[in-house]
Amino acid sequence: MTTEKLTAGHNLTSLQTFLLSEEAKHPHATGAYTMVLSALSLASKFIAARCRRAGLEDVLGSMNSENVQGENQQKLDVIANEALIRALGSRPGVAVIASEEDEEPIVLSRDTSGDRPYVVLFDPLDGSSNLDVCGGIGTIFSILQHDRRTSRVEDSALQPGVRQVGAGYVLYGPSTVFVLTTGKGVQMFVLDPAIGSFLLVNDDVRIPESNKMYSMNSANLGECDEAYRDYVDWANGEGYSMRYVGTMVADVHRTLMKGGVFLYPPTKKSPKGKLRLMYEANPMAMLIEQAGGKAYSGTQRTMEIQPDAVHQRVPVILGSPNEVDHVLRFVSK
Ligand code: FDP
């Protein structure tokens, strides 16, 4: 093999190796950040294994209960949430975890005297309404650090997206894909189930600058602001195509890989938007921006929104820079 071929995809690099080599670049690192990411990797392998066996084990269907958002909880929502809490709960560097499934953040430690501990926010199983039909589903996570200006450690969960020190998602599709940013570009890993390792397949994911493709639940168009209807009319006239899975992780992953724009505007039913700022819009915004794209909530850059609640909802417009600009032309009128 020539040296030119020794690039990502040719070298055998696991997520663990990648994290350790990043840690080695920071001589003062304590290893706590690596531990957080390895907990997320472990939990997502556990969730992937349970998803893979769905239909064989009794994990499909509803719990006949609602989560804090009033949404019907699926059995796998609960399994995935527990897996993440158990994996992150055993890591000493984590002070707070906040989940879509739990009303309040869980405080694991109030000791913030040493290194600034981490706050991890997550949607354990995004798109769970696609579960029963064997559609793509995912986990989304956002990592912050304790904000020394707050008096209660749990208030550190309410920081704007620009303060994220890491973000990512795991897509449980035909393969299990782990897409990560630690603020230095975007890396993509694929789970090799034979060896139980996420292997690096792309160490610098870049979103295409344009692609004539939009992704939204167009059944909501009659319920949206006129600007979105005008955009869709314009895009259809320009020969755009539409793709929509109805799982944010799957729709954002396609947008990241192929380009285009993903939209979830405010509707009459969800006047502030449906998607959650802290564990859906912000982590996706960080990934998309790190890959060269743009992410807005209406006319405001998503990551600059000052949050006021862990489960706050926002509109979402994200994707290829030129495609987001087209939408903003209509939205900012
Ligand atoms: P789901 O309700 O299935 O969990 O997070 C909510 C979410 O899925 C996103 O994954 C998805 O993008 C969106 O809702 C789909 O909403 P609609 O069914 O209203 O299109």
244 is in an annotated binding site: yes
The per-residue pLDDT for range 95-107, each reduced to its tens digit, is: 999 999 999 999 9
Q: Tell me the pTM.
A: 0.94
Q: What angle do CA 161, 178, 89 make, to 5 degrees?
A: 70
Q: Whose CA is nearest to atom 7 of ligand 1?
A: 127
Q: Which residue do the tokens 């981490």 mark?
A: 118
Nearest ligand 1 atom, CA 264: 12
Instruction: Please give the CATH architecture assigned to the domain spanning 15-202.
Output: 2-Layer Sandwich (3.30)
Q: Which two tokens stand for residue 215?
A: 């992704």
Q: Which two tokens stand for residue 101?
A: 């499934």
Q: How confident is the model at residue 70 (pLDDT cuts 50, 70, 90)?
A: low
- Provide mean pLDDT across the span 250-275: 97
The per-residue pLDDT for range 282-317, each reduced to its tens digit, is: 999 999 999 999 999 999 999 999 999 999 999 999
> Which CATH code is given to the segment(s) 213-331?
3.40.190.80
- Provide mean pLDDT across the span 23-47: 93
128 lines ligand 1 (CB under 6 A): yes
Domain map of the chain by residue range? Answer: 15-202, 213-331
126 is in an annotated binding site: yes
100 lines ligand 1 (CB under 6 A): no
User: What is the rounded distance in angstroms from the CA atom of residue 82 to the CA atom of residue 63?
Assistant: 14
Q: Which two tokens stand for residue 219?
A: 């059944």
127 lines ligand 1 (CB under 6 A): yes
The per-residue pLDDT for range 160-206, each reduced to its tens digit, is: 999 999 999 999 999 999 999 999 999 999 999 999 999 999 999 99
Residue of 132, 79, 75, 119 lying closest to 247 (CA atoms):
132
Task: Let me know: does 198 contact 189? Beta carbons within 8 Å.
Answer: yes
Amino acid identity of residue 231, one-letter, is Y
100 is in an annotated binding site: yes
248 lines ligand 1 (CB under 6 A): yes
